Amino acid sequence: MNILLIGAGGREHALAYAIAASPLLDRLYCAPGNPGTAECGTNVALDIGDHAAVAQFCQANEIGLVAVGPEAPLVAGIVDDLTTHGIKVFGPSRAAARLEGSKGFTKDLCARAGIPTAAYRRFNNAEAALSHVAESGAPLVVKVDGLAQGKGVTVAETTAEAAEAVRQAFAGPSGKARPEVVIEERLLGPELSFFALCDGRHVLPLGTAEDYKRVGEGDTGPNTGGMGAFSPSRLIDPALEAAILGQIVRPTLEALADMGTPYRGVLYAGLMLTAEGPKLIEYNVRFGDPECQVLMMRLKDDIVTLMLGAVDGVLETMSARFRGEPALTVVIAAKGYPGTVEAGGAIHGLAAAAAVEGVVMFQAGTRRQGEQLLASGGRVLNVTASGPTLETARQRAYQAVSLIDLPGSFYRRDIGKWSR
């Protein structure tokens, strides 16, 4: 079948890498894609925000499946709009995508369904939120209600930090007011990323990972979209997986189904393993980035078959097997990330880095200018490696990183090393 992959980042390059290996694939299109996805399929200049144009492209090119990588098109309802044209789409509906599109919606759902999560309050004006900060004291977690590309969360150690986060949230970009913030208690414990495929009724666990969101080593500095990850998590065991499924994932899907919004696609639960047990930090309605990179490196079964199983409602008959070797990815970021970045630098050494045993290079913020590969975004490259042990994968990834030349770039040196 012909497949259209929506997105342009490192996650989408990893998905393209996995989809390209499927025996079900005839032709892969990526919209808009990046130079990395162009090595797996054909990039097309398609406005993914114009759902009518996407539907027209699918019909003209006999697309049998659309796989949506990023969250914004899902929250905007691309699944609903393409489905009305009879096009199969891997991803949740607009209503179900509120799990990521609105943190307040998710917190309220958890409260109704008894899903363990942090205590919280929702605020739609700055004054009330600031009063709550002053009364509660720190530490607190301040979250922008809508999508913020992984940068809308502030873990405030002082009331001054929390108050500033509230003021910035309501000011918004370019002075545009945001409608709401969620202020939570701060949970303590190690973090775990848990992935599951869902078909509206059934759940199929799809691996675990640990990611590194802070920009600085030792988990310092502001949150980012992610500076690295490894899989599988060192924290998971059968008892913990059963608790996560029984207390968090399945009750969430049941609550959505009861609302008439069955969830189909991949569900990514960010969890904190507290002294009271696992608690939900947040949901994402797509593969994590860079967690997707390490998951696709380890996935043994065909990703296209699994996606179709979620769309067609037959996950109960399927399994998802992973290779035993761990995988680890290191993000190379442009100078200034996660703030204003310096784009346009030439990237050298990719061929030498990719020649390191066990290494696959996933491109994220890159573009071609003639024969040159240039940095075009904050997170530029995902250097991903597998190996018989996590330490071997780590050594291979950092050996490859050392061979890449991008002036002004930086990366964390403690991915897979620093113990949380």
Distance CA 379, CA 409 (A): 10
b/e sequence 174-208, b meaning 16+ C-beta within 10 Å: eeeebebbbbbeebebebbbbbbbbbbebbbbbbb
- The class that CATH gives domain 119-185 is alpha beta
* Nearest to 180, CA basis, from 111, 121, 118: 121
**With left for phi above 0 and alpha for psi between -120 and 50, is residue 161 left, alpha or beta?**
alpha
pLDDT of residue 171: 82
pLDDT of residue 317: 92
For the cut 80, the answer to whether the pLDDT of residue 264 exceeds it is: yes
The residue that leads in pLDDT, 65 or 146, is 65
pLDDT of residue 152: 78
pLDDT of residue 417: 86
pLDDT of residue 179: 73
* Torsion over CA: 63, 67, 72, 78 (sign): positive
For the cut 90, the answer to whether the pLDDT of residue 299 exceeds it is: yes
CA distance readout (Å), 285 to 197, 211, 289, 313: 10, 17, 12, 17
Concatenate the DSSP letters of all residues of 60-74 into one string.
HTTEEEEEE-SHHHH
* Nearest to 299, CA basis, from 39, 41, 89, 15: 15
Mean pLDDT of 331-338: 96
Lowest mean pLDDT among 37-41, 63-67, 151-155: 151-155
pLDDT of residue 21: 98
Domain positions in the chain are 2-91, 119-185, 191-317, 327-401
For the cut 90, the answer to whether the pLDDT of residue 405 exceeds it is: yes
pTM across the whole model:
0.94
**Residue 173 binned pLDDT confidence (cut-offs 50, 70, 90):** low
Which CATH number is 191-317's, of 3.40.50.720, 3.30.230.70, 3.30.470.20, 3.20.20.140?
3.30.470.20
pLDDT of residue 197: 98
For the cut 70, the answer to whether the pLDDT of residue 25 exceeds it is: yes
**Residue 147 binned pLDDT confidence (cut-offs 50, 70, 90):** confident
Mean pLDDT of 377-387: 97
Q: Is 309 in contact with 342 (CB distance < 8 Å)?
A: no
For the cut 50, the answer to whether the pLDDT of residue 143 exceeds it is: yes
Neighbours of 223 (CB within 10 A): 17
pLDDT of residue 146: 80
3-state secondary structure of 297: helix
Lowest mean pLDDT among 35-49, 138-152, 363-377: 138-152
When the pLDDT of each residue in the chain is averaged and rounded to a whole number, the result is 94
Concatenate the DSSP letters of all residues of 351-408 into one string.
HHHHTSTTEEEEE-SEEEETTEEEE-SSEEEEEEEE-SSHHHHHHHHHHHHTT-B-TT
Span between the terminal Cα atoms of the chain, in Å: 44
Give tens-digit pLDDT for 218-249.
999 988 999 999 999 999 999 999 999 999 99
Neighbours of 233 (CB within 10 A): 22
* Nearest to 288, CA basis, from 217, 376, 195: 195
How is residue 83 written in tokens?
């489905």
Distance CA 238, CA 354 (A): 35
pLDDT of residue 178: 55
With residue 135 as reference, give the H or E element that holds it: helix 126-136
For the cut 50, the answer to whether the pLDDT of residue 407 exceeds it is: yes
Give tens-digit pLDDT for 193-217.
999 999 999 999 999 999 999 999 9
Topology, domain 327-401: Glycinamide Ribonucleotide Synthetase; Chain A, domain 4 (3.90.600)
Mean pLDDT of 287-302: 97
pLDDT of residue 175: 47
3-state secondary structure of 93: coil
Would you state the CATH architecture of domain 2-91? 3-Layer(aba) Sandwich (3.40)
Give tens-digit pLDDT for 312-331.
999 999 999 999 999 999 99
